[in-house]
Structures are given as structure tokens and as C-alpha cells.
């Protein structure tokens, strides 16, 4: 930009000087080209008052024309520099007003183009941060909603019975749910920290038993049941909170959209452990089956939950798949712990 300003100033001054000096130089060249015997007559003719006034008027006219030429050149140069700055300011104002896209300028002026590039990259990063915050809020809402729903069912069960034994049993389950809820909150708060690549070993039997206890009142209220079977003593590489959230999401999805008994089977498959979950319902609509894990598929919560469950499985080195649409069969693949 400094070079452009310098060139603009020099161009305006050069245009002004050229308009004044070029005619004078031409006049001097004409006088010098006159033969010696006629040069005195020419000089004498230029020496009168009328000639002096004419010459003065001519020089003044040339100066005015030179100033006009310099003004025209300076104006064109100012537009060349000012228009990109004005456009950059307008786009920056739109970005500040909330517009997510920023189209970078290509003005040919290095400094302006670099500023435009920085604003463009900042706009992209800002859009990503806002999207991440919205996803985080949605994920947090879903992860907290499931254990809170189960906890509310336990409290209702406690409030509706006078059997002290049942109250103590349900209270202990509720305490366990509160502890898991606290771990869910800790997990959410730690999502921005770098995760440890060495995942802990967790007992699949313990997690499945915990889920069966937590969801028992909901299944009883719906007059449905849950059947857990398969290989016992399996251990997988995953955080207990994440594995519980994955299973809880699938159970909730089956309870809301399926029918009959929810069947959960665990087995080995090479170096992995597979947890398959199915029910006796009609299954997943073929039109949405290919998009079942996308956040926008369902606005009632199941779409978000399945997307979140898939992300949690991937974060723990596994994957979540819909292996059959009709009947609906979901499978969680995790690494087996030694």
C-alpha cells in the first residue's frame, strides 16, 4: 500500500509537471532551432509587453491544466485505493452483524488482500465455533435428559410405595443414577480437553446390569420387557459413562419407537465385542434408514440421540451401525480389553 501511495503521488506530480514543462521545452527547442540570423528577431518579438503577457497567460494556463491533470490522476488513484477499502469495511460490517460468509477481496493490493484473507478465515472459524457450540448444547441436553428421566421414574417409584425394602432398593439405584449423572456432567465439561488414547477396561456385564436396573420402571410402565443374554465376562475398551450413554440411547430409542421385548445380545467377533439390540417392532422406515444417524433426521430427540451415540462410539475407538432396518437391529462394535 505504501508503494501504491507513493506511485499515486508521483503520478499526479509528474502529470502536472509534464503539462507545464513539455510546452515550454518545445518552445525552447523551437527557439533553439531557429537560424542565428533570425533568432534575434524571434527573441525581440518575444520581448514586448504583449508577448510577455501572452507568455505569462500561456504559462498560467499550462499550470491550471497541469493542476487539472494532476487532480484527475489523483482522483483515479484514490478510487483505486479507496474503493477496495470501502468494500472491505462494508463486508466487515456485515460479518459483525452476523453474516456467516465472508467473500475475500481480490483488489491486487497486498495489504488489503491480506486483511481480507484474515477476515475470511476468521469468519470460517467463527462459523465452526458457533456450530460446535450448538452441537454441544444439543448433545448436553440429550445426555442429561436420559439419566434425569430414569431418575424421575425411580423417585416416582419410591413415592408410590410404602414397602421400606423397595424404598431402600430404589433409593440405592437412584443414588447410582445421580453418580452417573455427575460423571456425565464431568464428561461433558471435559470434551474440549485432549482425550487419553489409552481407554479404560470396563465390564460389559456391569454396564448392562446397571442399564437393566435403571430402565426397569419405564419398561414396566409400558408393559414391556428387556432381555439381556449372550457371552458373559466380556470386557471392552471404553469409558463407562460413554458406554452407558450409547446403550441408554439405543434402549430409549427402542422404548419410544419399537414394540415387544427389547433383546440385547453380547458376543465376541474377532478382536471386537459386538452388542446387538433389537425389538419386535416394524423397524425403521426405508426412506430414513440411510440417514438414521444424521442429526436432522428426527426433531423428537431420537435422531439427535443416535447421532450422539455414534459419535461416542467413534470417540471410544468403536462404531455404531444399523445392521438391519426391518426388523431394526443396531450393533455396537468395541475393542475387547485384554
By CB atoms closer than 10 A (0-12, 13-18, 19+), residue 258 is buried
Residue 198's SS3 state is: coil
Identify the segments of the chain with pLDDT beneath 70: 1-60, 62-75, 77-82, 96-102, 109, 128-147, 180, 183-198, 295-304
Q: What is the pLDDT of residue 307?
A: 82
The string over 49-76, giving b where at least 16 C-beta atoms fall within 10 Å of a residue's C-beta and e elsewhere, is eeeeeeeeeeeeebeeebeebbeebbee
pLDDT at 198: 63
- Cβ 274 vs Cβ 333: under 8 Å: yes
Residue 85 has a pLDDT of 73
* Geometric angle at alpha carbon 335, from 232 and 202, rounded to 5°: 55
Closest CA to 87 of 59, 72, 67, 109: 109
pLDDT at 233: 92
Count of other CB atoms within 10 angstroms of residue 200: 13
Report DSSP letters for 137-195, one per residue: HHHHHHHHHHHHHHHHHHHHHHHT---HHHHHHHHHHHHHHHHHHHHHHHHHHTTTSPP
Cell numbers describing residue 45: 518579438
Structural domains of the chain sorted by starting position, each given as residue range(s) with its CATH number in brackets: 2-99 (no CATH), 134-335 (3.30.565.10)
Q: What are the angstrom distances between the C-alpha of 253 and each of 142, 211, 264? A: 12, 14, 13
Amino acid at each position: 500500500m505504501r508503494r501504491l501511495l507513493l506511485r499515486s503521488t508521483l503520478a499526479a506530480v509528474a502529470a502536472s509537471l509534464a503539462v507545464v514543462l513539455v510546452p515550454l521545452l518545445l518552445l525552447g527547442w523551437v527557439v533553439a532551432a531557429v537560424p542565428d540570423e533570425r533568432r534575434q528577431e524571434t527573441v525581440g518579438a518575444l520581448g514586448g509587453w504583449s508577448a510577455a503577457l501572452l507568455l505569462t497567460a500561456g504559462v498560467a494556463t499550462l499550470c491550471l491544466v497541469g493542476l487539472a491533470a494532476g487532480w484527475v490522476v489523483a482522483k483515479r488513484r484514490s478510487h483505486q485505493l479507496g474503493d477496495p477499502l470501502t468494500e472491505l469495511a462494508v463486508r466487515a460490517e456485515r460479518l459483525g452483524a452476523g453474516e456467516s460468509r465472508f467473500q475475500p477481496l481480490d483488489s491486487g493490493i497486498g495489504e488489503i488482500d491480506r486483511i481480507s484473507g484474515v477476515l475470511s478465515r476468521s469468519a470460517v472459524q467463527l462459523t465452526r465455533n458457533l456450530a460446535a457450540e450448538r452441537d454441544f448444547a444439543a448433545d448436553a441436553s440429550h445426555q442429561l435428559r436420559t439419566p434425569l428421566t430414569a431418575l424421575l421414574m425411580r423417585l416416582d417409584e419410591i413415592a408410590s410405595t410404602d414397602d421400606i425394602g423397595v424404598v431402600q432398593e430404589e433409593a440405592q439405584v437412584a443414588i447410582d443414577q445421580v453418580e452417573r449423572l455427575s460423571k456425565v456432567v464431568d464428561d461433558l465439561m471435559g470434551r474440549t480437553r485432549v482425550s487419553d488414547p489409552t481407554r479404560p477396561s470396563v465390564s460389559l456385564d456391569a454396564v448392562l446390569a446397571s442399564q437393566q436396573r435403571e430402565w426397569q420402571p419405564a419398561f414396566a410402565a409400558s408393559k414391556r420387557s428387556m432381555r439381556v443374554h449372550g457371552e458373559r465376562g466380556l470386557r471392552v475398551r471404553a469409558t463407562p459413562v460413554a458406554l452407558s450413554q450409547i446403550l441408554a440411547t439405543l434402549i430409549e430409542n427402542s422404548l419410544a419407537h419399537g414394540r415387544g421385548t427389547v433383546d440385547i445380545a453380547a458376543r465376541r467377533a474377532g478382536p471386537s465385542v459386538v452388542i446387538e439390540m433389537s425389538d419386535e417392532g416394524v423397524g425403521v422406515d426405508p426412506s430414513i434408514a440411510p440417514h438414521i444417524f444424521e442429526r436432522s433426521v428426527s426433531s423428537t430427540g431420537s435422531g439427535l440421540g443416535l447421532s450422539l451415540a455414534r459419535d461416542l462410539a467413534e470417540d471410544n475407538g468403536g462404531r455404531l451401525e444399523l445392521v438391519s432396518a426391518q426388523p431394526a437391529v443396531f450393533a455396537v462394535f468395541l475393542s475387547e480389553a485384554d
